[in-house]
Amino acid sequence: MRTIGALIFPDFELLDVFGPMEMFGLLPDLYDLHLVGLTVGAIPSKQKIAAHATLNTQDDPEFDILFVPGGMGARSVMADPALLNWINRAAAKAEYVMSVCTGSAILAKADVLDGLRATTNKMAYDWVVSQNDKVHWQPKARWVEDGKVFTSSGVSAGMDMALGAIARMHGTEQANEVAKWAEYTWHSDPDHDPFAVVHGLV
């Protein structure tokens, strides 16, 4: 059983969190899921649907998997030194670290991605890359795996990354079973990234 701590903050992107959590949550004997906020309670997403954080970062929780989404609220997170410090500490202690979309900008600002390959939402690519020049940013990738860190492209790409992470931890057959249960067509090639072309990055 691995614990997953998914950070949520005002204006987080809804699918960034709940797409991957659906995939992990289909394996309840393997993953214990938690939403973590600056405070406990309801936190509104960019889509105005609120999610309930049951843990707060001020209590300094630790997780086997630290999960960081993106969204318009990422900019506020990146301006909060205390929160960035918690992310850095939690990432150091975690077995795996994962981000979706502009969540990689948060990880980069927290110095979690220094020296690693990573990717992000291709629409926001230039802005994200400007946050940290110590990261080896990949302009064409659905998701990137470097050591214990997984980063994905925008929004729906997080589900493909989550299945990729499940495949690493439990095998491709298990990941395919999860995709089947979710009735989801898994883009299992991490280099399949049509949006890099759409946004003129390649």
Cα–Cα distances (Å) from 178 to 64, 74, 144, 173, in that order, read 20, 29, 20, 9
Lookup result for tokens 């209590």 = 59
* Contact (CB, 8 A) for 142 and 191: yes
The tokens describing 4, both together, are 């997953």
Radius of gyration of the chain (CA): 15
Lookup result for tokens 């110590």 = 134
Name which of 40, 39, 102 is nearest 74 in CA terms: 102
Q: 143-146 and 136-137 as β-strands: parallel, antiparallel, unpaired? A: unpaired
- Annotated catalytic residue 101: yes
Q: Which of 43, 84, 100, 101 is catalytic?
A: 101
Active centre residues (catalytic): 101
